[in-house]
Every structure is written in structure tokens, then in C-alpha cells.
Amino acid sequence: MQQFTLIFVVHLTALFASTACIDYDGFLNMKLEHSLNCNDEKFCHRGSITLKSIRTGVPIIDQILFNEKHLEALKKLANEDEFYSIKTTITTGENSKGTEYLSSVKAQAFLENGLSDVINAWILPNGAVIAVNFQVANSTQPLKQATNEYKLNSKFYLRYIEQAPVPDTASYIQKMERDREAREKGEMKDNRSFLAKYWMYIVPVAIFVMISGATNPEASAPAGR
């Protein structure tokens, strides 16, 4: 028997842009699968995360409860110092086929933190999800058991990434072209000093003189009587 857990979490920090910077708005669905107690399959159903509006950022998290078989399999992974893995498939209005992301944590850490985890989705202003990160929550709470089942304590954070400004290379190239044309026409006066204009000629001559003096010390020394 499955029981679903409903958790609402909204978290924005000063490190990321606010939802006002999101150009796209629409739904976002995340199918969660894990590699635990899956019989012959590599991954099997764990739950889902649904956002009706990316700008609002309010998720609905539906997840299964772990049973004794899940817990035994997780303890086995922990004893072997192995990882507990999750596969996330994301679909949006612009990406109906879905994109898969894989992430994992140490099984021992997941157990020690009372089956508490954090799922982060990193999203660009155009609504495209570029990464999904799964990590163990920093918690020391014990396992929450209801009869023979154990509750997953999951939190979801939508991370809004602000893109850096794109350099205006076209304007810079146009300015360089105008300056070059003006110099060719003689419209721009070269106000640089003599050294600034001809240093590329002076330096080689100076180096040549120094080398010549160093290789011919007898010629530069005064004749003795």
C-alpha cells in the first residue's frame, strides 16, 4: 500500500535571481525513480514532483513509503559503502519528450539522516532545466516509522540562475573599423610621444648594441701601453 506525502517548499536566496527574471512560465513535471528494491529493473518508481507554475515555484511532492525490503536493500548498500541513486525525468510544455538526470548519495549518509534528502532543479530564465542535484539533508532525525513503513522526508528547491550579460562585440568591432578608416583618411591625429610611436624599432637596436658590447669586451676596453 502506498501513501503519498505532500510537501510545499519555496526557497529563494540572494545568490539567485527572483522569479520576476523568469521569461517563461508553465508546468514542470519530475518523475522520480530510484535503484532500490527494483527486482530485475535498474530503476523503479519512487514518486513525482509537479509544479503548475515555474514562476510560482510551489511544488507538489508525491512519494512512496519505504517498506522493510527497501530498508534492507538500503542497509546492504550502506554496509558495502555503495551509493543510493536516483533518476529524474523532467518534462515541460517546451520539452514533452523529457530529459533524464542521474544523481546519487552515499547510502550510509541517507540512512543516518533519517531518509531525508534535498532535490534541487537549476533553471534558466527561459524555463529550461539544466541540472538536477540530489543530496542528503543535513539532519540527524531518526527514521519515522508508521507500522511497517518509513516516511521519506524530501524537500525540493527550484534554483533560478541569472545569466551574465552578453558582451556587445558588434559595437566594439564597428568602433574599431571607424577608427581604422579615420586613421587611413588622416582624420585622426596621432598624439603619441616619439617613444610610443617608434618603440618597436628602438628596442631591437638597443638590444643589438648591448649584445655587441658584451661579445666584444676587448674592443671597448682602452688600449694599454
Give the separation between CA 115 and CA 152, rounded to whole angstroms: 5
Q: For residue 10, tell me if it sits in a domain.
A: no
pLDDT tens digits for range 106-153 = 999 999 999 999 999 998 888 889 999 999 987 666 676 667 789 998
Single-letter amino acid, residue 136: V
pLDDT tens by residue, 204-218: 888 878 887 766 655
Q: And the C-alpha cell for 197?
A: 610611436
Determine the 3-state secondary structure of 132 from DSSP: strand
**Residue where a domain stops, chosen among 160, 179, 198:** 160
What pLDDT, in 10s, does the model give residues 3-50? Answer: 433 333 333 333 334 444 566 788 899 999 999 999 889 999 999 999
- 52 and 80 share a domain? yes
Confidence (pLDDT) at 6: 36
Q: Report strand pairing: 28-34 vs 44-51.
A: antiparallel
Domain holding 81, by residue range, is 19-160
| AA identity, residue 69 | K
181 and 143 assigned to the same domain:
no
- Indicate whether 83 and 189 sit together in one domain: no
**Tens of pLDDT, residues 170-192:** 777 777 778 777 777 765 566 67
pTM of full prediction above 0.75? no
Q: Do 110 and 45 lie in a common domain?
A: yes
Residue 132, amino acid: V
In one letter, which amino acid is 212? S
Alpha carbons 117 and 72: distance in angstroms, whole number: 19
Question: Are the beta carbons of 119 and 156 closer than 8 angstroms?
Answer: yes
